[in-house]
Amino acid sequence: MRTLVLNAGYEPLAVVSYRRALVLVLNEKATVLSESDDVIRTVSDSYQRPAVIILNRYIRPPAPRVRTASRLAVLRRDRYECAYCGQHAETIDHIVPRSQGGPSDWFNLVACCSRCNHRKGNKSLNQLGWTLSFTPGPPTQQYRWLKDFDRPAVEWQPYLGYWEKTR
Ligand SMILES: [Zn+2]
């Protein structure tokens, strides 16, 4: 009984109760894109329950929460692949070693296998002549909340598909 809300640029923004969605539509803040078969009856009217609505004006999405770069969080971001050799990573590495002032943040931590970790020791990439194939940073979690819904409604699928492809 929930409604998917798209931002004016068609990206998924939130999931709200259908009542909230109806209020947005009746106040001309949003337009219905897809309706479900359910009919909602009030004292004076009846409506199709909106399945997907789109905001009439673009709003700036809420900034994603940035989590701390824990060992597990870095391994997950890098899908357990060593940043240097691509093998299975079981540990994390400071790109700029801590002994050289390297911070423990999303920009300086990467997943690393124990072999590379051992070889790298306290040396910097320059000293070793190693390169990184990507620029580390905080994981994107703008749409994490979508995963909180085990089974997205059928009517949402076309819009979530668009989101998956353009992500
Ligand atoms: Zn490695």
Query: What CA–CA distance (Å, rounded) separates 165 from 167?
Result: 6
User: How much distance in Å is there from the Cα of 83 to the middle of ligand 1?
Assistant: 7
As given in the structure block, the two tokens for residue 119 are 């070889």
In the chain, where the domains are located: 2-63+141-166, 71-128
User: How much distance in Å is there from the Cα of 90 to the middle of ligand 1?
Assistant: 10
As given in the structure block, the two tokens for residue 92 are 């994390």
User: How much distance in Å is there from the Cα of 89 to the middle of ligand 1?
Assistant: 7
Query: What CA–CA distance (Å, rounded) separates 58 from 55?
Result: 7
Q: Which residue has the higher pLDDT, 89 or 47?
A: 89
User: How much distance in Å is there from the Cα of 7 to the middle of ligand 1?
Assistant: 41
Please, are residues 110 and 74 in contact by the beta-carbon 8 Å criterion?
yes
User: How much distance in Å is there from the Cα of 120 to the middle of ligand 1?
Assistant: 10
User: How much distance in Å is there from the Cα of 114 to the middle of ligand 1?
Assistant: 7
pLDDT per position as a tens digit, 14-61: 888 888 999 999 999 999 999 988 888 878 888 888 999 999 999 887
Instruction: Please provide the DSSP assignment of 84-111 as one string.
Output: TT-SBP-EEEESS-GGGT--SSTTTEEE
As given in the structure block, the two tokens for residue 48 are 């199709």
Query: What CA–CA distance (Å, rounded) separates 94 from 80?
Result: 15
163 has a pLDDT exceeding 60: no
User: How much distance in Å is there from the Cα of 136 to the middle of ligand 1?
Assistant: 16
Tell me the CA distances in angstroms from 94 to 70, 121, 135, 158, one per residue in order: 12, 10, 13, 41
Percent of the chain with pLDDT over 90: 53
